Chains A and B, each alone.
Chain A
Amino acid sequence: MCFAIAACGYVPRCALDYSDSGAIRFERILDLIGECALSIHDVSRVELDESSGLPRFNMPLELGADLGLRLRGPAAHRSRRILVLDAEPHRYDVTLSDISGMDVEVHGGDSERIIAAVRNWLNAGQTEPLPGGAAIAADHRAFLTLVPDIIASLRLDDFDALPHPDFMYVVEEALPMIETARGVP
């Protein structure tokens, strides 16, 4: 998702950008939401906690905070745009029925459908069309082939060891080089 956002010329913001454990995570997230005019919530990430077997409700909580800002927050936030993603069609009708009627894009857990959904949503209202979802997805596949060598060069242990801000700098550097190296429109 962050790859697609960056490829469309936007800056993804998330709590992973900050490592200061002193800040309450939810407050940090609220600050980030307030600083941005656009936001994306993937409510499919309500996975079960491995130890307790209970679902994690962080994503619906954050979506609720975002909707509250748009509906009852300062006037400047009334026009904020929100994209909701889920893995399965109409699952949210059962699990999150209060948002029934909202546009929810379904991705089936497929990264290429996530890329297309994000690109198409960001493309709305653009004067110049953004790169197509298929092109970004192909560049993302190419990027994934580079990741092991990039990680090795940076002397990190694995993909997850790359801090999120550093990952975004890698993406920013890699996108133009991949476009040139692939040599396709």
Chain B
Amino acid sequence: MPAAVATREPKPDQPPKRRLRYRGVMLQSPAVPSRTPLAKIQKAVEAAVAKNAESLAGSK
């Protein structure tokens, strides 16, 4: 499996997407649509981070 990477610009006719930042880097959304609703993914990640907040804090 080649992991080929490319920068990508949104098409002008698409609504602007929410852009997330990580350690000063502007993240780009994946190139293909998700099969799981994005709201469900976001909720699952938020819940996992909240559940593990104590162990994440200051983890090495």
Q: Which segment of A71-79, A91-99, A164-172 sits at the interface?
A: A164-172
Is the beta-carbon distance between A182 and B58 smaller than 8 angstroms? Answer: yes
CA A175 – CA B45 in complex, angstroms?
10
Once A154-B41, A169-B34 are accepted as A-B contacts, the answer to whether A10 and B28 lie under 8 Å apart by CB is: yes
Chain A, residue nearest B26 (CB)? A9
CB distance from A112 to the nearest CB of B (A): 12
Instruction: Report whether A13 and B6 are in contact in the complex, using a CB–CB cutoff of 8 Å.
Output: yes
The SS class assigned to the A binding surface is helix
- Residue count of chain B within 8 Å CB distance of chain A: 45
Task: Answer whether A181 and B57 are a contact pair too, CB < 8 Å, given A175-B27, A176-B20.
Answer: yes
8 Å CB contact of A39 from B3, B49, B51: B3
**With A35-B6, A176-B21 as contacts: A153 and B56 at CB distance below 8 Å:** no
Interface members, chain A 122-168 (any B CB < 8 Å) = 122, 128, 130-131, 135, 138, 141-142, 145-147, 149-150, 153-154, 163, 165-166, 168
Report how far A95 CA is from B53 CA in the complex, Å: 46
Q: CB distance A17 to B32 under 8 Å?
A: yes
Within the complex, which residue of A5, A38, A58, A178 is in contact with B56, where a contact is CB–CB below 8 Å? A178
Q: Can you show 26 pairs from A to B with CB atoms below 8 A apart?
A: A2-B3, A8-B25, A9-B26, A9-B28, A11-B29, A13-B3, A13-B4, A13-B5, A32-B4, A35-B6, A36-B6, A40-B2, A45-B1, A58-B1, A128-B24, A138-B59, A142-B56, A150-B48, A153-B43, A163-B36, A166-B41, A169-B36, A170-B44, A181-B53, A182-B59, A183-B57
Contacts A18-B32, A39-B4 known; 17 new A-B pairs at CB < 8 A = A1-B3, A17-B30, A17-B31, A33-B4, A37-B6, A40-B2, A40-B5, A130-B25, A147-B48, A169-B41, A172-B20, A172-B27, A173-B41, A177-B45, A177-B49, A181-B53, A184-B58
* Interface residues in chain B, defined as those with a beta carbon under 8 Å from any beta carbon in chain A: 1-8, 20-36, 38, 40-49, 51-53, 55-60
